[in-house]
């Protein structure tokens, strides 16, 4: 469970989450848009971010909740494995730079 939700979620958040998941047609947009590729490690995307049931999805804060709050413009639907894999985007660092050419 997220550190932000220790006391449980609010009605407002549940409505926002439902709006985002419905807007994104219950698909894992976090994986489709490449948010998972920004974090090292393996996970298995289910591709589904359903409103209820065993495939109940999450709403991923793309720039971090501290930066944007719960503004739907900065939220994407995500399956649980993807959202938990990505975590808080403000806590991860950029991957190390890889040289593609050599200077002579």
Domain boundaries, the chain: 7-86
Interval 11-45: pLDDT, tens: 999 999 999 999 999 999 999 999 999 888 999 99
H helical segments located in 7-57? 11-23, 29-32
Cα separation, 33 vs 94, whole angstroms: 17
Q: Which residues lie closer than 8 Å to 54 by C-beta, 6 or more apart?
A: none
Interval 1-18: pLDDT, tens: 455 556 778 999 999 999
| Amino acid 28: pLDDT | 97
| Predicted structure pTM score | 0.78
Q: Which residues lie closer than 8 Å to 19 by C-beta, 6 or more apart?
A: 72
Query: Residue 74: pLDDT above 50?
Result: yes
């Amino acid at each position: 469970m997220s550190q932000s939700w220790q006391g449980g979620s609010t009605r407002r958040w549940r409505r926002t989450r439902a709006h985002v998941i419905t807007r994104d047609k219950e698909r894992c947009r976090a994986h489709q848009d490449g948010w998972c590729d920004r974090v090292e490690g393996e996970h298995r995307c289910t591709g589904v971010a359903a409103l209820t049931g065993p495939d109940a999805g999450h709403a991923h804060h793309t720039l971090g909740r501290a930066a944007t709050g719960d503004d739907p413009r900065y939220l994407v639907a995500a399956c649980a494995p993807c959202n938990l894999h990505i975590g808080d985007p403000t806590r991860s660092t950029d991957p190390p730079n890889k040289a593609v050419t050599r200077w002579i």
